[in-house]
Amino acid sequence: MGKKVIEIENLFVELDGITVLENVNLTVNEYDFLGIIGPNGGGKTTFLRVLLGLVKPARGKVRIMGNPVEKNRHLLGYVPQYAVFDRSFPISVEEVVVSARLARKQGIRFSNEDYRIAASALERVEMLPLRSRQMGELSGGERQRVLVARALAVQPRILLLDEPTASVDSRFAAGFYELLRELNREMTLILVSHDISAVSSYVKTLACMNRTLYYEHSRELNREMIENTYNCPVDLIAHGIPHRVLPPHDGVVGS
Amino acid sequence: MEILQFDFMRNALLVGLLVSVACGMIGTYVVVKRIVFISGGISHTAYGGIGLGYYLGFNPMLGATLFTIVSALGMGLVQQRSSQRQDTVIGVMWAVGMALGIVFVKLSPGYTADLMSYLFGSILTVPERDILFILLLDLLIIATVYRYFEEFKAVAFDEEFARVSGLKVEFYNILLLLLVALTVVVMIRAVGIILVIALLTIPPAIAGEYSRGLKGMMGLAVVLGIIFTTAGLYLSYLFDLPSGATIILVAATGYILALLIKKKIHT
């Protein structure tokens, strides 16, 4: 096991007086690829926002590489949920990616070094040839790759992804997960999704989240975790994907 | 051109130019950030300051500057509290600013007939000291946009990512609203409080249809602004029409033409 990059103890989060997350405990080790699944409204996005320092916890401890969030959030790269960008906004792919360097920019404009980092991030996601394109001209899949490149241009140690394939077709999604698997050789990945089958064959470990987190540091989800998370029997059949999510079982779940 | 023989015409063209620079640059942000309504609110509260200037006997433009700055700060606070019903609060501030102006003017002693020029503009009668004032505000706007161009762009495109990157998003949002306030003050003399919004948004809106970057959009918007103010001035001189309203109608015609041309290209 590598060293701990994220440590969360007894995390409680309230939004407008309503408890959204309670008693979340989680340790993520370096080079983990953790998939967090759960129903919409189960607190997954809020959880990522806590890590990013956008939401303050009501209680509990959150540490990134041993330090409080405020001190180390520059180590995080963030790929937001299908962002509804204004397609008419006049901005090129390269401009979007280099904007990740803003916090580290020295002068008034970006340096050549910043543009070099942006170019190599675009190279990683195979979008360098399209760097002069307008964001509004890209397909859903291309846009998603640009958002990953923007997160990479931060030069993060941990990459957080929120429903990265929600807006793209499945043909694109497979290639996208291959890209994530490659990135995982260099950094820790945390991905949240409501789509179990899409995620489960690529991540190293799986957790379930619905108000709290069910996590056993393994690839397999037991039936109790799933049913606790979704509050109802779920139709979870592990066919068509190379790895089983559920242990072999008798009968059909959900019947 | 015989109309250029008149000093007031030369001054008017100069004011048109200065106004076009401010509204092309700041209007671009107003359009891409979709803060047209907030900008309308800021512009209308200026009337309160103009009224106060009349009432207490100082330059109404100074009062307008003061009131737009205060209202920009107020709107900035409202903007940051997403739980509030933003548009309602902005609408209330908009009306209160106007109401204050009307009350102050009523309380003011003496003759206040040229108040209409603040409401609908009078580009032909801008005093020299106001031209200097407008020039200074223009320089301030240009310098600020130059300095924070990348930051403004990032915040306008994706506020949340800018925040995650460690940018002080609130600071840039309020700074931008302050620039909107200054731009409004610059424009009041030319087209008046009520018509500010049209000249602030139409040139950038057209430019946005044909630009691939914010810089290009700003440049094109400035040029369009100069064309609209100059053509509007000329037509108002030719047909003896109110200048501010003529400028706006020329701009609106340009907008409709631009949309039609764009549509034709795409079909």
- Tell me: the pLDDT tens digits for B208-227? 999 999 999 999 999 999 99
Burial class from Cβ neighbours inside 10 Å (0-12, 13-18, 19+) for residue A63 reads: middle
Instruction: Give A76's strand partners.
Output: A158
Rg (CA), chain A: 19
- Please name the member of B163, B167, B216 whose beta carbon is closest to the beta carbon of A54: B163
Which chain B residue has its CA at the smallest distance from A51's CA?
B164
Kindly state the average pLDDT of the residues B128-157: 93
| Domains annotated on chain A, with CATH | 4-88+158-175+183-230 (3.40.50.300)
Q: Is the per-residue pLDDT at A235 higher than 60? A: no
Q: Is the per-residue pLDDT at A246 higher than 60? A: no
Segment B60-105, tens digit of pLDDT: 889 999 999 999 999 898 888 766 678 888 899 999 999 999 899 8
Residue A27 C-alpha, separation from nearest chain B C-alpha, in angstroms: 22
Instruction: State residue A172's pLDDT score.
Output: 78
Do residues A217 and A192 lie in contact, with contact meaning Cβ atoms separated by under 8 Å? no
Residue B226 C-alpha, separation from nearest chain A C-alpha, in angstroms: 22
Distance CA(B223)–CA(B212), nearest Å, equals: 16
| Interface residue of B36, B84, B150 to substitute, partner A, most A CBs within 10 Å | B150
Q: With cut-offs at 50, 70 and 90, classify the pLDDT of residue A242.
A: very low
Q: Is residue B230 less than 8 Å (CB to CB) from chain A?
A: no
Judged by DSSP in three states, B85 sits in coil
Segment A90-114, tens digit of pLDDT: 999 999 999 999 988 888 899 999 9
Subunit contact A91:B153, Cβ cutoff 8 A? yes
Residue B236 C-alpha, separation from nearest chain A C-alpha, in angstroms: 34
Q: Is the per-residue pLDDT at B28 higher than 70? A: yes
| Domains annotated on chain B, with CATH | 7-257 (1.10.3470.10)
Instruction: State residue A31's pLDDT score.
Output: 92
Subunit contact A103:B147, Cβ cutoff 8 A? no
Which chain B residue has its CA at the smallest distance from A97's CA?
B154
Instruction: State residue A16's pLDDT score.
Output: 84
Helices (H) and strands (E) in chain A, counts: 8, 10
Q: Is the per-residue pLDDT at A45 higher than 70? A: yes
**Bridge-based pairing state of the strands A158-162 and A188-193:** parallel
Mean of per-residue pLDDT scores for chain A? 83
Instruction: State residue B112's pLDDT score.
Output: 65
| Interface residue of B32, B144, B161 to substitute, partner A, most A CBs within 10 Å | B161
Mean pLDDT is lowest, of A172-181, B27-36, B41-50, for A172-181
Side chain identity, residue B15? V
Which chain B residue has its CA at the smallest distance from A49's CA?
B164
